[in-house]
Structure 1
Amino acid sequence: MEVTLAIDYGSARVGTAVSVGWMARPLDVFPHGSIESLLARLLALCTQEQVTKIVVGLPLNADGTEGEQATVVRGFATELAQTTNLEIFLWNEYGSSQAAQAQMIGASRSRKARREKLDAIAAALFLQEFVEQNGVGAERVYPKDQQRHE
């Protein structure tokens, strides 16, 4: 069975979610820390959850253009591709954080609880969209030495 890990990569925190089959669920939010420690934690999570592919949220602007954070995320996704043989994809995550915030406010969570889980819920939201659309429109990420476009 397909198990997909979603990563909502941010400069302070990194949210994760997983889908087994058709249902996405939020996992953990990690403090960013060093790239080496973050990659180690994510790869351990992949082993623990028996992940078969990874989708990284690409933060596009409302008009579909890429800003500075999208460039940072692309670099992270390429580094991640260097460390694993799993397929890695980029997926438009526009609006997922706002939707996660609205969902959490509706659930009457405290501000602190919302902040602690926000990135994982955002990851689950864009992962659910990725799964429902069978990844159509996702961009495959390759290690630096294998860069190509599909």
Structure 2
Amino acid sequence: MTAGRVMALDVGKARIGVALSDPLGYTAQPLLTLWRKSRGDDMRSLLRLIRKHEVTKIVVGNPLHMSGDVSPWAAKVQQFAEELQARSGLPVELWDERLSSVAANEILDDSGHDHRDRKYVIDQIAAAVILRDWMQAH
């Protein structure tokens, strides 16, 4: 496990879900949903969060097809991850996120969360699922 906080991102076309580990790397917690504006604005917002939370590693959900093939969106997310690594100077790891949204919806169902306002939290819950899965594997 990496010392320091790990940030996980669920990068979508309209929103980016952000989750953080605790400082010891035991738990994954949803942090916020970043509504996308432009690539530059998104990067600046993420870099501020990275500094504020003393992040030492970033895990980005890799939206592969169910077959494992790289989807067109996965190619864009991979470019995003490369740019974030270059701009942050931190290690960025892509992590298979297949079924993370399904798991996030199950978590929200189990907690009785209203379907009408899920768009405000679903991405950060998905980011927490990505981070949890990454942490369990490491």
Provide the TM-score with structure 1 as the length reference.
0.86
Supply the AA of the counterpart residue of 2:27.
M
Query: Which one of the candidate residues 44, 48, 55 is aligned to 1:44?
Result: 48
Deviation at residue 64 of structure 1 after TM alignment: 0.9
Deviation at residue 12 of structure 1 after TM alignment: 0.5
Give the share of equivalent positions with the same residue, in percent. 35
Structure 1: distance between partners of 2:123 and 2:114: 15
User: Which ranges of structure 1 fall in alignment gaps of 5 or more residues?
Assistant: 135-150
CA contact (8 A) 1:22 1:132 kept: no
Structure 2: distance between partners of 1:37 and 1:116: 19
Number of aligned residue pairs: 134
RMSD: 1.0
Structure 2: distance between partners of 1:46 and 1:112: 30
CA contact (8 A) 1:52 1:86 kept: yes
Query: Which one of the candidate residues 15, 27, 33 is aligned to 2:17?
Result: 15
1:69-88 → structure 2 map (5 Å cutoff): 69-88=73-92
Partner of 2:70: 66
User: Which ranges of structure 2 fall in alignment gaps of 5 or more residues?
Assistant: none
Partner of 2:106: 102
Structure 1: distance between partners of 2:80 and 2:112: 34
Residue 32 of structure 2 corresponds to residue 28 of structure 1: yes
Provide the TM-score with structure 2 as the length reference.
0.93
Structure 2: distance between partners of 1:126 and 1:91: 7
Deviations 1:1-50 (A, max 9, x none): 32100010011000000012110000100111101110011011011111
